[in-house]
Amino acid sequence: MLVTKHDIKNLDRVYRLNLINSITGVKPGNLIGTESKKGIKNLAIFSSVVHLGSNPAQIGIVIRPQIKNLKDTYSNIISTKYYTINHISESFIKKAHYTSAKFPHDESEFDSLKIEAEKINDFHAPFVKLSQVKIGMKHLKNIDLPNGCIFIIGEIELAYINNDALNKIGQIDLESYEAIGIGGLNSYYKLKHMESFPYVKLNEIPHFDE
């Protein structure tokens, strides 16, 4: 199947949505936790979390256009400046998926979906207790994207990583706690560690016959 820009524009809406959301391959699956100034905890699934740099330690998230009403995740981040990023494991995929529903503003996804929240070091935003990697973030700035989406940039304030998932050189073994990946909008994949290669130096590249 070959599609051009013109073809993409003329595809059936749902088909185009599924195709373009899955065309980049498997994406990380995370739950973003926030808490409103009124104390209502919010939880939403995202597949757009991206590493930006390690010094300073920054992470970005793409959020959909906020045209009519501000979504709870975005509103809480802007008003409180704090949010959490929580890895999703296979054991709670289904609950995580249903956080994408449009719950009323005064209803917490933690409570409705029976996902236990956790406080760490008096951090303002709630963490997901079952998550094996939890990151506490502080909002730094927004960047408006050409398609109307918003790129949120934040800095890591604290992080919890299960010791069993962390090796001696600081790498996190995603397979060890059955972390999942997301393909498209609603397909979930298991992650399996295949191989680790050394840091690449030009004079150490092996010879490839093909």
Q: What is the pLDDT of residues 23-82, one digit of tens each?
A: 999 999 999 999 999 999 999 999 999 999 999 999 999 999 988 788 999 999 999 999
Residue 124 sits in a domain whose CATH number is 2.30.110.10
Q: Please give the model's pTM, rounded to 2 decimal places.
A: 0.94
Q: Is residue 184 part of a domain?
A: yes
Number of domains in the chain: 1
The answer to whether position 144 is within a domain reads yes
Please list the alpha-helical segments (H only) found in 23-163: 72-80, 93-97, 109-112
What is the model's pLDDT at position 210?
78
In a domain, 97, yes or no: yes
Specify if 173 maps to a domain.
yes
Pairing of strands 180-183, 187-190: antiparallel
Residue 140 placed within a domain: yes
Q: Look at residue 198 in the predicted model and tell me its pLDDT.
A: 87
Distances (CA, A) of 84 to 23, 34, 76, 181: 27, 7, 11, 18
114 contacts: CB under 8 Å, gap ≥ 6: 95
At residue 67, the pLDDT reads 84
Task: Report yes or no on 1 lying in a domain.
Answer: no
Examine residue 45 and state whether it is found in any structural domain, yes or no: yes
Straight-line distance from the first to the last Cα atom of the chain, in angstroms, rounded to the nearest whole number: 27
3-state class (DSSP) for residue 128 = strand
pLDDT under 50: residue ranges of the chain: none
Name the residue among 79, 78, 115 with its Cα closest to residue 95.
115
Rounded to whole angstroms, the Cα distance separating 182 from 48 reads: 10
How much is the pLDDT for 6?
Answer: 95
Question: What are the C-alpha distances in Å from 57 to residues 136, 144, 170?
Answer: 11, 21, 14
The pair of three-digit structure tokens given for residue 200, joined into one six-digit string: 């690449």
Domain boundaries, position 87 = 26-191
| Residue 14 in tokens | 């749902």
Residue 5 placed within a domain: no
